[in-house]
Amino acid sequence: MNSVGSSGIFQPLEGDDPRVIAGYRLTARLGAGGMGKVYLSYTPGGRPVAIKVIRPEFSEDAEFRRRFKQEVQSAQRVQGLFTAPVIDSDADGPSPWLATAYVPGPSLAAAVAEHGKLPVPTVLLLVAGIAEALQVIHGAGIVHRDLKPSNVLLAADGPRVIDFGIARAADATSLTSSGVTVGTPTFMAPEQAAGSTITPATDIFALGQVAAYAAIGTPAFGEGTSHGVLYRIVHEEPDLTGLPEELRELVSRCLAKDASERPSIAEVIALCGAASGQTQLRRPEEWLPTAVAADITTRAAAPAPAQAPPPPLEAPTAGAPVQPPTVPAQPAQAPAQPPAAVPAQPPTVPPVPTELNHPQTPPPGFGPAYAPTVGTPAQGTATHAGAAATGPHGTGPHPTGPAVAHPAAGAPGPQPPKKKRKGLITALVVVCLLVFAGAGGAVVYTFMKDDGRKKSDQATSNNKAENSDASPTPTPAGTASPDGATNTPAAPQQDPTPVDFKNINLPDDYHLSMADEAMKPTNTDTDTDTDFAYQDNSYSDDQVNTENGKLVLLNAGEEGSLDTCRNETRFTETILAKQLTKGSQICLTTDYGHVALITFKGFAPKSDPSSYMTVDVRVWRNAVQPKQDS
């Protein structure tokens, strides 16, 4: 279901796309087809799922809804190793939908379009896996009816068949009577094209077409108008030019015009084993070509859902004007006894949602939302997030710690509380001694006086030390602090301006230096800094590497930005070339403090005598602290 669109694998939602389906918050659009659109979402436990929303014209047909519900219930019984299980659905809502497990892999259609035909061993494993999927699907009483390359996903451990049974529900809609054809004409069986009885053998014919497409790179009955393709399927033989000899018997038998002459699923699997020279197929760890397997990496990490602004705890009454929660009145002046220690920075008030009467639904599985603080606090005060209210009517406990009151501009800041001096106690002792003593008391008085002075001085020193250790009282910007100094806010540090270099062809054993004003490839034998190099190895995997920094291969869905590169810590010095696909992005942080975002665009064509890779480079110079020499 995760077909690749024109703008990438994970396409942003458009204006007419829903944002939430039955509690599933949609985060991206995966593709669209004749039956509807497919979106990416997540289960409450964080597992990605593909949600297919049926087109409105089908949704308006009552018979379609009835058939759709039946087919989905049957599909939920299908639990095969080579199928994407249906985990949730709704046939009665405004728009019928179903959710399946998200498969991180390209469709067969996308893989062939991007990388060309597949080798024979891969095709045999592909056909055997699809045959096993059909065995489970047919066992649940379902005929797929729309088996085609875009409904076969290539995962790391084998193919996955999706969208089984949905086409049958469309057969019942009144749209078919107005000329709408259900299924893809290029991969239909003759009986399907002629409107005759559909049986499991119909899927075997489609399997033969899928096998031919994977091995040749083009459909067996050609392309063109629907009527022309359907005529050739019914009346002409397939064009198997270029089909490897090992696959000819398998494909020819599956494409028999007479459904009774097509092999059973067990026979298909046996033919795959015979074509491979084995009695039983053994799936290796890497069954896909390197270039196709690399596409799985770009889909393995689905983009994480962004947190939606939480809704208010109490939904507004329909038709009633929206009233912000009541904010308790704040004193206009500082209290007589301010707290002994205040935070260095006032707490930040959370942003106020722009549309309180249209709360967004949070993603499933996340904790309860808090009530946002609404309204402007009284002048000269700052409140902690949620200090105004924790309940729907503005009542509830205050946040931990006292509220902070800041003085108005020009007013002195709050003074620390005065401490009692020990000298007072000493003075009382001296008075008593003077009353009850004579000359000897004078001696005692002199001694105690000196002792009191020492203790008083010590207390004063302790007071100063305690006041210096306490958090400083915040002073408004531009006003004088108690010591007379003017508080001037520090200017925020500006990020360096990026410099872009487009379409750099980096040859084998050449490298790039991020400090070069005019960046160009340099031979690795020179003494210049090897910040980013490409090596086309003869005896090991091709790779890119760095000698003066750290590399990070970004996951699909990660934003290629300076902040991302600064915060990533999955460091390496080498990345295998087979891990790169068109559009892959690499963060490079050099030992000299430069940060670069390198976008891979492709390798040299096989017809080119040179070996090189093409990249775009965006570099932020002096963006981080340089590495300190030990």
Which amino acid would we find at residue 208?
Answer: G
Instruction: Give the Cα separation of 583 and 602 in Å (integer).
Output: 8
Residues 6+ apart with CB under 8 A from 363: 25, 42, 305, 307, 308
From residue 159, alpha-carbon distances to 82, 188, 189, 330 in Å are: 6, 20, 22, 65
Containing H/E element for 532? strand 532-535
From residue 394, alpha-carbon distances to 316, 359, 398 in Å are: 15, 19, 11
> Rounded to 10 degrees, what is the CA torsion of 255, 260, 265, 266?
-120
Instruction: Give the Cα separation of 213 and 466 in Å (integer).
Output: 81
Q: In what order do the strands lie in the sheet with 574-576?
A: 522-523, 510-512, 532-535, 543-545, 574-576
Q: What values do phi and psi take at 273, rounded to 5?
A: -65, -40
Find the catalytic residue in 88, 146, 163, 542. 146
CB neighbours of residue 609 within 10 Å: 5
Instruction: Give the Cα separation of 237 and 254 in Å (integer).
Output: 12
Which tokens hold the place of 212? 């031919």
Q: What values do phi and psi take at 535, rounded to 5?
A: -130, 120
CB neighbours of residue 399 within 10 Å: 15
Which amino acid would we find at residue 124?
Answer: L
- End-to-end, the C-alpha distance of the chain in Å comes to 53
Angle at 417 between CA 416 and CA 418, to 5 degrees: 115
From residue 574, alpha-carbon distances to 84, 527, 544 in Å are: 35, 20, 6
CB neighbours of residue 590 within 10 Å: 25
Instruction: Give the Cα separation of 75 and 67 in Å (integer).
Output: 12
Beta-bridge partner residues of 40: 28, 50
Instruction: Give the Cα separation of 113 and 103 in Å (integer).
Output: 19
- How would DSSP label each residue in 434-501? HHH-SHHHHHHHHHHHHHHHHHHHHHHHHHHHHHHHSPPPP--TTSB-TTS-B--PPPPPPPPPPEEE
Which tokens hold the place of 244? 């490897």
Provide long-range contacts, Cβ within 8 A and 24+ apart, for 536-540: 536/508, 536/509, 536/611
What one-character DSSP code corresponds to residue 125?
A: H
Which tokens hold the place of 494? 């500006």
Burial string for 19-46 (b: 16+ CB within 10 Å, else e) reads eebeebbbbbbbbbbebbbbbbbbbeee
Going by C-alpha positions, the residue among 481, 337, 343, 468 that lies closest to residue 412 is 481
Which amino acid would we find at residue 410?
Answer: G
Instruction: Give the Cα separation of 535 and 597 in Å (integer).
Output: 19
Instruction: Give the Cα separation of 554 and 6 in Å (integer).
Output: 21
146: annotated active-site residue: yes
Burial class (CB in 10 A: 0-12, 13-18, 19+), 56: exposed
Which tokens hold the place of 489? 């806010």
Which amino acid would we find at residue 89?
Answer: S
Question: Catalytic residues, which ones?
Answer: 146
